[in-house]
Amino acid sequence: MRKTKVSFRIFCFFILILLPTQALSQVDEDQHAGHFFFAVSAMASPAQTLVHFAEFRDYLEEKLGTQVHLKQRRTYEEINNLLHEATVQMAFTCTGGYLSGRKAFGLEVLAVPVVKGKTSYQSYIITTKNNPARSLEELQGQVFAFTDPLSLSGRMYPVAAINTLGYTTDSFFKKTFYTESHDKSIEAVATGLADGAAIDSLIFDSLYELPGSFARQVRIIHKSKEFGMPPVVVTPSLDKESKRALLKVLLGMANDPRGQVVLRHLEMDGFAIPTPELYRSAILLRKRLKE
């Protein structure tokens, strides 16, 4: 996204020097007892995402009345590890990351962002402007960039589409690699490092609005059907009272003047409670994957 989401990493280096590992862990737990932790992943490059999620952190801290800490990780698997271990209580993740965590340890959806009035998004397949390919099928034998192994729009969707054609990615593409963020995948195509890539529609559409963006140097050759929006998730060990408090804050942001500012910077309209069917198409897609 144009103004995307990241976070700080908070380390206490002097404790690492002065205390052994077990003592460090206990001190850290004691220091942060009663604090709230949430995480974001690098859907776009981390260097671009700090400011507005820091605003969200400050807003959440004010509304919850407790100290809130922000953690950032490069991959969705790392985000899921934090949630599984209850190192963080909440996270902004991708749809594929949620499905993986749901199956592995009962990860729960708390709320879903609303963007331009919608709670769904798409996967875009892009290529260079001088590439004659007009479809995913015509990228056969070329170099393709994925974002993250758990990304629905950045990997799962194109893999499922290729599987439907009777291929695996190894037999279909000349080479594949991971960029770890959607804007880096766009850049890889624009600069010729990759012939094609699969991109989150929300991020692509937002970046396309920026003059000089790499998104303006590529073209879309395919759009997937709609999938449920990347959600806000919570660890299954979080108590019901805390879940209710968090949900109340998120749902109330659109009606709060300061919350509206934070949402605008995050390029969101607000948050909603997901319907039971919202992630059905993504679940079915995941089941069809052959690799």
Global pTM reads 0.85
Ranges 42-56, 111-125, 265-279: which has the least confidence: 42-56
Q: Quick one: pLDDT at residue 276?
A: 86
Residue 7 pLDDT > 70: no
215-238: average pLDDT: 97
Query: What is the CATH superfamily name and number for domain 123-224?
Result: Periplasmic binding protein-like II (3.40.190.10)
Residue 50 pLDDT > 50: yes
| Consecutive H or E run containing 286 | helix 280-288
Residue 67 pLDDT > 80: yes
Q: Quick one: pLDDT at residue 268?
A: 94
45: three-class secondary structure by DSSP: coil
Backbone angle region of 44, left / alpha / beta, with phi > 0 → left and psi within -120 to 50 → alpha: beta
In Å, what is the CA distance from 183 to each residue of 60, 86, 196, 254?
Answer: 27, 29, 13, 28
pLDDT class of 74 with cuts at 50, 70, 90: confident
Enumerate the CATH 3.40.190.10 domain ranges in the chain, comma separated: 13-115+231-276, 123-224
Q: Are 184 and 148 within 8 A, CB to CB?
A: no
Residue 150 pLDDT > 60: yes
Domain 13-115+231-276 listed as CATH 3.30.565.10:
no
Instruction: For residue 288, count other CB atoms closer than 10 A to its CB.
Output: 12
Ranges 4-13, 48-57, 280-289: which has the least confidence: 4-13
Residue 243 pLDDT > 60: yes
Q: Tokens for 199? A: 């991109």
